[in-house]
Structure 1
Amino acid sequence: MKSTALNIIKEKAIWMVFVALFLVFAFANPLFVSSSNLFTIARQVAVLGIASIGMTFVILIAGIDLSVGSIITLVNVVGAYLMVNSGFGMVSAVLVSLLVGMLIGVLNGFLISTIGISAIIATFATQTVFKGLAYILSGGTPIYGFDERFKIIGQGYLGPVPVPVIIMIACFALGSFILNKSYFGRYFYAVGGSEEASRLSGILVGRTKYLVYALSGLFAGLAGIVMLSRTNSAQPTAGLGYEFDVITCVVLGGVSITGGYGKMSNVVAGVLIIGILTNGMVLMNVSTYMQLIVKGIVLALAVGFDSLQKKRATT
């Protein structure tokens, strides 16, 4: 009975941290709980949240995807370039851009699964390549001048709820369904737990990795489209550093960095914590450099806690 209660507390601890952090910023600055600021936070975390879903799958199989920020950037630039310079309609430009994101994920899967390059090196290589490609395609300058209807994706509302938040909720629901209700989700957990055991049980580990990285690219691409619509211009630095924030959200949400364990519902809490932490520090006039230090400490603490849990489980 006692161990059951402790397990429940561990499962809900991340949500307790979220509530505590929310209350701290609410008392520190009354503007934090204003409706306009809460809507701002909701729109800001939408990009992080959508990209975090794909990263959750990747980390569950004990992988890593450092190319997420570059995918967000490249999809920004490709989508804008197609709509402004190539005469593509809004829908076709979005679909092609999402396909680009997914194909980068497939390329990552090929390098990791078929060629055998370690995930951190393979995705760092593609991060660098596609970052450069985004600069070449944009000429190093912003691209703007879209169809007004495109703004709905990132700036519109459905009743009182921002459209990006609705997209994020739908994506989290889909991600949760994949993990909890599909055999793909069981494969992700199995491969993260032990690749060798997964092979022996008949799971096609290579194909699973292809699927996971393709999904990561697709969700990162969708995050890039939402960001493009929200900012209304494509910047060659749009996704700079986003991979760090996305990884922090996922690990903070309790997904084990060594793979095989984690829940999509807790990733939601991780995303919200990073969102209110960033927004709260801005309202308190904390410098950008100090914000980086705080986020780095949060990531270190999350990974450290995960490592301690693993050690205790094996002793």
Structure 2
Amino acid sequence: MGKEQKTMENNKQALRMFVKKNGSVVVFAILCIAAAIFVPRFASVNNFLLIIKQSAIPVIACIGMTMVLMTGGIDLSLGYTIGLSSTIVGMLVKTHEMAYLPAILITLGVGVVIGLINGFCVQAIKVPAFITTLGTGYIIYGIAEIVSHGESVNRLPKGFLAIGKTEVFGVNTTVVITAVICLVFFYILHMSTFGRNLSAFGLSEPASRLSGVATAKINVLVYVNCAVLASLVGILLSIDVNCAQPTMGGGNYTFEVITGAVLGGASLFGGVGSVVGALFGVMTIKVIGNCINLMNAAYYLYDAIMGIIILAAIVFENVKNRKL
């Protein structure tokens, strides 16, 4: 009897550890099962492939946001960086007929500059990340509107569109790009010294600094990384919709990405985050949106659910921190 109780206790402990480490996977699985039962036309291969395709691009942005959240910061300029990057790459490849690779590199370079500005303000000037990125976000949006004269760039070159619309062994190239990025950042976050230092930084910046961790460099790098990934998202979104415009991202896209990161287990107070969590967090919110569409419900419900998720996460983190 004692052995059976010990085995049951070990199994319960193992289950608790699995849920703690893979909570986003569990939530996604439960949601999909419920949707398959109650939502008409949800349980089909084509619908699930659609969810995967819709999730691919936001996952890239969510990985960048997750790393920023792990420092205890936030990047509210992400959506506006997407819009500016979309505008720049569209104008370079269509209006100025620039070669695709230089145009993409210049656009990613814009992300580097934005990230450096955000990181410098947060780390060197000590302006709170919320204020810094909110301010730079509106500046970025203004620049995008000035550069584009408030107009979209439509019908991008077919060769440029092929970057994200062709298939590799039957898989869309955008999905392939996302898969590669997920693998790269899985190694960076979970198997490298940088990832361990990033987690330590988020849990206790003073202790990490005293331990010899280059906290200033990490703090700047995560904002650069987030902005560069946002620029890549701007490029891929432009390819996806065959249009480049300054309103491509904006506040709503930023809010969705933050929600995906939170659903993926990233702590709003720093120290916790994962690539797997970001992936399944985004897929979860895409499943929610997909269910709303299939049920012909008002899409405003989607925004309300996202708000509830963010609020619940903040309340949960506060309660947990008080107990600790």
Tell me the residue number matched to 1:136.
146
Pairing of 1:113-128 with structure 2 (within 5 A): 113-128=123-138
What secondary structure sits across from 2:248 in the alignment? coil
1:53 and 2:48 matched:
no
2:311 to 300, 306, 315: 300
Question: Separation in 2 of the partners of 1:180 and 1:22?
Answer: 27
Gaps of 5+ in 2: 1-9
2:180 to 170, 175, 199: 170
Tell me the residue number matched to 2:293.
282
| 1:45-94 residue CA offsets vs partner (Å, 9 max, x unmatched) | 11210001111110111110001101111110000011112231111111
1:203 and 2:187 matched:
no
Give TM-score scaled by structure 1 length. 0.94
The amino acid that maps onto 2:244 is A
Instruction: Give 1 or 2 for the bigger CA radius of gyration.
Output: 2
1:266 to 264, 277, 286: 277
1:42 and 2:52 matched:
yes
Tell me the residue number matched to 1:212.
222
What do you get for the CA RMSD once the two structures are aligned? 1.6
Contact conserved, 2:40 with 2:295, CA < 8 A, in 1?
no
Give TM-score scaled by structure 2 length. 0.91
TM-aligned CA distance change 1:203 to 1:81, over 3 Å: same
Compute the displacement of 1:4 (Å): 4.2
Contact conserved, 2:68 with 2:223, CA < 8 A, in 1?
yes
The amino acid that maps onto 2:186 is S
The amino acid that maps onto 2:255 is F
Tell me the residue number matched to 1:152.
162
Gaps of 5+ in 1: none
Q: Percent identity?
A: 35
| 1:159-214 residue CA offsets vs partner (Å, 9 max, x unmatched) | 22221111111111111111122221122111101111111112222111111111
Question: Separation in 2 of the partners of 1:68 and 1:82?
Answer: 21
Which shifted more, 93-102 or 12-21? 12-21
Question: Separation in 1 of the partners of 2:136 and 2:243?
Answer: 24
1:6 and 2:16 matched:
yes
Compute the displacement of 1:132 (Å): 1.2
Compute the displacement of 1:9 (Å): 2.7
2:233 to 211, 223, 241: 223
